[in-house]
């Protein structure tokens, strides 16, 4: 039975001035680096299956609060990971293997963030696959000695079976299920002309109720007027369509006697708008950059996991071929 437990592995020693306010998601010390943090390994209540760890879990495990990685931080993490080696500790080798895998993933994120930075040697516990010459020799030998490979029908069946076994499927992020469903499709019924107005009003109100609120956006919608590209996402175009104005909405709106009356009203509105303070503007930009960094790191982490699966399946494929010789 698989053991499950909290995913907290490395603790952080902080001074009071270095503690992060989690509710605001803003750092009180150095906004985008982790130079104040000193990770230390702990081995209590650790799930040793790295596949159970998300991107956030990985950073918590290694005691990293920010998402920007630099060389000094990576060296510090590497030092504490090396301390789990069986020759340097009384720990089982599983701990060293686990923390080495965690460090490798973190190092891959570091490399992605610092394309031109000096690479820090990462742990390599993988078996080195055969080089191109060895692979070519192996394939030639298989086709010469295995009669099934000389039969196109049998070879195609063998190849398809191996492909299904070792192929790493891409995660689907499209809207296939949404397009197949009837979500958001208006139900039409036979109505008289006298009922048309009231039915349209009901439909407008229902549409208003399902428009998702996305919070304050940088532009009026994803179909930026400046870009001129319009909507680039089908579902987004459907959900961000112009909301029908109902009679109730119209009744709530302020009425004007003429253009001059309307112009004066707008001018007064502009006078009452106060610009954001420098401190609030800095906090807003800092959080926006932090959210963007989190998103980039999360995408990188998922790509790393996918690459690891591909590498593992590649090794298994060539191992299967060797057993046939």
Task: Give the Cα separation of 297 and 300 in Å (integer).
Answer: 5
- Give residue 233's pLDDT: 64
Residue 36 CB neighbour total at 10 angstroms: 16
- Give residue 232's pLDDT: 57
User: What pTM does this model have?
Assistant: 0.51
- Give residue 174's pLDDT: 61
Residues 6+ apart with CB under 8 A from 226: 219
Compute φ and ψ for 5, nearest 5 degrees: -165, 170
| pLDDT bracket for residue 173 (50, 70, 90) | low
Q: Which residue has the tokens 């959210």?
A: 291
Task: Give the Cα separation of 69 and 304 in Å (integer).
Answer: 16
25 HSE (CA, 13 A, CB side): 12
Mean pLDDT of the chain: 72
Nearest to 224 by CA among 215, 235, 236: 236
Most confident option among 15-24, 25-34, 274-283: 274-283
Least confident of 150-159, 196-205, 233-242, 256-265: 233-242
Question: Which has more pLDDT, 286 or 6?
Answer: 286
Question: Which has more pLDDT, 145 or 187?
Answer: 145
Q: Which residue has the tokens 């742990």?
A: 123
| Structure tokens that stand for 217 in this block | 């956006």
> At 12, is the secondary structure helix, strand, or coil?
strand
Least confident of 49-58, 164-173, 175-184, 224-233: 224-233
């Amino acid at each position: 039975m698989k053991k499950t437990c909290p995913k907290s592995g490395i603790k952080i020693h902080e001074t009071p001035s270095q503690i992060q306010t989690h509710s605001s998601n803003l750092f009180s010390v150095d906004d985008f680096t982790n130079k104040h943090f000193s990770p230390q390994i702990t081995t209590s209540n650790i799930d040793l299956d790295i596949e159970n760890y998300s991107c956030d879990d990985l950073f918590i495990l290694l005691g990293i609060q920010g998402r920007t990685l630099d060389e000094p931080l990576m060296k510090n993490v590497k030092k504490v990971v090396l301390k789990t080696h069986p020759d340097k500790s009384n720990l089982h080798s599983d701990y060293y293997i686990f923390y080495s895998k965690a460090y490798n993933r973190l190092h891959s994120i570091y490399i992605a963030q610092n394309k031109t930075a000096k690479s820090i040697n990462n742990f390599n516990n993988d078996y080195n696959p055969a080089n191109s010459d060895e692979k070519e020799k192996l394939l030639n030998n298989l086709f010469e000695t295995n009669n099934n490979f000389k039969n196109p029908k049998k070879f195609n069946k063998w190849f398809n079976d191996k492909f299904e076994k070792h192929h790493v499927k891409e995660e689907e992020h499209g809207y296939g299920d949404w397009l197949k469903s009837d979500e958001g499709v208006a139900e039409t019924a036979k109505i008289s002309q006298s009922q048309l107005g009231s039915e349209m009003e009901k439909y407008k109100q229902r549409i208003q109720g399902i428009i998702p609120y996305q919070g304050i956006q940088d532009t009026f919608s994803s179909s930026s007027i400046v870009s001129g590209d319009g909507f680039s996402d089908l579902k987004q175009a459907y959900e961000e369509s112009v909301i029908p104005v109902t009679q109730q909405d119209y009744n709530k709106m302020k009425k004007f006697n003429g253009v001059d009356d309307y112009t004066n009203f707008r001018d007064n509105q502009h006078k009452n708008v106060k610009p954001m303070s420098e401190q609030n503007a800095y906090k807003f930009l800092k959080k926006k950059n932090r959210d963007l960094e989190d998103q980039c790191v999360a995408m990188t982490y998922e790509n790393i996991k996918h690459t690891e699966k591909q590498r593992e399946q590649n090794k298994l494929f060539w191992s299967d071929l060797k057993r046939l010789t």
